[in-house]
Structure 1
Amino acid sequence: MTPTLLITGAGRGIGAAVATLAAARGWAVGVNYRQDGAAAAGVVGRIEAAGGRALAVQADVSVPEDVERLFGEVTAAFGPVRGLVNNAGILERQARVDELDADRLARILNTNVVGAFLCAGAAVRRMSTRFGGVGGVIVNVSSRAAVLGSAGEYVDYAASKAALDTLTVGLAREVAAEGIRVCGVRPGLIETDIHASGGEPGRVARLSGGVPLGRGGAPQEVAHAVLWLLSQEASYVTGTTLDVSGGR
């Protein structure tokens, strides 16, 4: 039976790369998106053209009812979810901490932290042997910003990703005996559209000189790390977050 993988924020960037690679490796893929239905449909179209199975589902991961509907639609289409990639994340324009307001902080934390917790909880209720499931894997997409802090740019985003690192450790220990592994990846400077959201599309080029490998990364390089963590090759790995950052 084809296993089912749900990826949040999968219409572009790292999420889209994970979806495409996962489908190529035999997963049926739920492609979640919040706003850009055309981009998500494009991901599904590419997967289906290559002979894979995928479904695009609109849902705001910060809304509990949306999360339950998301899991329900993917399960109805492909069967029980065996893998979750918590990838949905946003940032806003570069700013210092003394320039941030409560509304911006709420937006960042609601999507990046609350959304990840809600989706992780929904996955556990379906995967855990405690609830009659057969196990599974959760991979949280963090960021090297969680360690570096993103001073003068995105300290709020960095803090939200640090929360995901804590979720990875704590949840892994909660559910290790219930058939669920919980891991994370911390991408570094990756060539995606998210930098334009912060007001600097060329950010990777500006900072790549400080990367020991001398370049920014590709979304596909992160996707390979995620798929390894989802696989049986990582069967003794849980509570661990893997840096995919070129050494930065």
Structure 2
Amino acid sequence: MSFAAGADLGLLIRKLETIITVSDAERQALERLPITRRQMPARQDIVRYGDHPSQCCLLLDGWAFRYKLLDEGKRQILSMHIPGDIPDLQSLHLPVMDHNLSSLTPCTVAFIPHDALLDLTRNFPGLTAALWRDTLVDAAIFREWMTNIGRRSTLGRITHLFCELYLKLHAMGLAENHACEMPLTQSDIADAIGVSNVHVNRVLQELRGQGLLTLQGQRLVIHDWVQLTKRAEFDPAYLHLKSAAVS
């Protein structure tokens, strides 16, 4: 059943406000969008390769990820997504999915009809620009992931991934004091950065031994943010956040 849910769409507003200023009229228009809420179990596809979706999904709770599978079953994770993200926004203009989108954890998803989003963009050019900017930031993150996989060491890849996810969570008010939820398994990390599980395990032990971070019980604690960013060669400019400062 479709309905307008201002509280749920507040997450989308908060996400957009990390990169732009949303006017009162735009806020009200976003809150009027019709949505269909759905609970998704962990590790279930939300949209699949080859689908022709007629709606976009806003992640309200939980984590999701984009991925592709090779013929032999090997998986490449392409991106990670947190509450406030619309991971399949490109489906608004690209009619066929060229990858899979799956829940990582149990998720609550709000499906927004394409027709409603298209009406929104026709009537509110500022929101059109905001959504376009969001897709450009998404592309910037893809470029950084390509650099990460192609040129950084395994230690650099892992630390860079953690720095990125921590800052994204922090911007949404989902992380503080250098600690946050981190529901990635070692297999997920390996498939995101293109190395083996054994290599991931070895590097995590090294980082823990150096006192930089602890990853335990689906929780990441960063003990030395400055040194971690140095080891990762992490520059948050590609996230294009209005404020990327972490004290």
TM-score (norm 1): 0.30
TM-score (norm 2): 0.31
